[in-house]
Amino acid sequence: MTVRNSSGKKFDSIVEAKKIPVRKSTSSNQFKTFFVYTENKILSQICDMLSVRDICRIYESVREDKEGQEEFLEVINISLDENSLKDIPGLKDAAFYYLILQMIDLKQLNRLHTHAIEYFLNKVIKKYKADNIQDIQRLDKAIEMLSRYPVSSDPPGICIIFCTENGRKGSEDDLKRVKALFENKYRYDVIVIINPSSKDVQTIVGKLQSPRNKFYDSLVVWFMGHGNLNCLELSDRMIDRRKQFIQPLSDIDWLNKKPKLFFIQACSSEQVNSSFCEAQASRTAIDMEVDAVGIRAGHGWRATYAPYVDTSCINNYADLLVSYATKWNEAASRQEKGSLYVNTVVDQLLNIGHTKSIESVLHKIHYYTNSVLLLTDYKTWKQTPYYDSSLQKEFVFPAPE
């Protein structure tokens, strides 16, 4: 659905649909799982993957670990009987979730910080011999899942597209491609605002702040319009691209520890038409040292900074990636069939976005965009996109159905 000067309507319709889980398809018997925390689903999948032997060896690794803190070992120092875990239904799962709950209680585990459990899984891998290929592959898969941002909610996130059509040939094609990609392939809830005003941006920010949106796993924002080095042009005025656009859309409580991706198709100079040629003040020093268990840094780093590691709090501007169509003080190419940047982004996300990290995808986007020779006023030039990132993990879009 496209919103024209009424950016709240689509948002309200999405909110209304999320009040209760709804059946997606009676024929396939699939249900939306919007009201389940993604980190719980990921941990449940990992629990199902692990064998009884894996669980026992995790506990062995905890007892043997010389880097662990006494407080951690006091609650985890348990000997497990492998036969009992096999014979008693549910006991394996109980042992796994007991470990997880203790890590959460000791501030060692949340949806972003998983280094402690990854650390012990790596120690279990070392216990298996090289010929235990299936065991090693299973644990490697679990570590890979933990090393990425968890994205398993349905829908996995919300995609907001701000598109200026006035005076921008090819903008309708860009919009059509981006909307189809996120709505049809990646199953995001999509909101489109045509010829946005500063009030539209403020309205979207206000709607996003509602806690009812906390089950979204990610935010994707597109801006397709005019701009210059520091500003974006809206229908009523220019706004600072960082302070009045990226910052307010990122500084939202429920997005803390979640990936926020921005794609900016706007010039950093004049537009060119071209052709092709969670913290607590009362925490003790011991609590904070526990957070450092499993951080794979050098001894010097750990000796200096381990006492100050705090995984309970994250800056809201962390986990942010902004992709720009062009470098500073340069133009962005656009043709009648859409822009080079948007077409390349959509093409690469369509083909490898669900198998490669977003950074790897952007490297390909940069490579292919830079390979195209452009012609403007009989002069050839090349467009160079780039990105800024504070992502702390790999982000991979969910596999399409």
Q: Please report the pLDDT score of residue 274 as a whole number.
A: 43
Q: Which residues pair with 272 in a beta bridge?
A: 333
Alpha carbon distance 81, 69 (integer Å): 24
Alpha carbon distance 379, 65 (integer Å): 64
Alpha carbon distance 191, 294 (integer Å): 40
Residues in the chain, how many? 401
pLDDT in tens, 19-65: 433 333 444 434 444 555 788 889 999 999 999 999 999 888 888 87
Nearest partner of 192 among 214, 169, 221, judged by Cα:
221
Q: DSSP letters of 17-60?
A: HTSS--EEETTTTEE--TTS-HHHHHHHHHHHHS-HHHHHHHHH
Alpha carbon distance 355, 204 (integer Å): 30
Structure-model confidence comparison of residues 312 and 159, the more confident one: 159
pLDDT in tens, 250-306: 999 999 999 999 999 886 554 444 444 433 333 444 343 445 455 666 666 666 666
Nearest partner of 198 among 237, 164, 231, judged by Cα:
237
Alpha carbon distance 346, 202 (integer Å): 27
Work out the pLDDT band at 73, boundaries 50, 70, 90. low
Task: In the chain, count H helices and then E strands.
Answer: 15, 16
Average pLDDT over residues 175-180: 95
Average pLDDT over residues 134-154: 93
Contact 279, 113 (CB under 8 A): no
pLDDT in tens, 318-348: 899 999 988 766 666 656 677 888 989 999 9
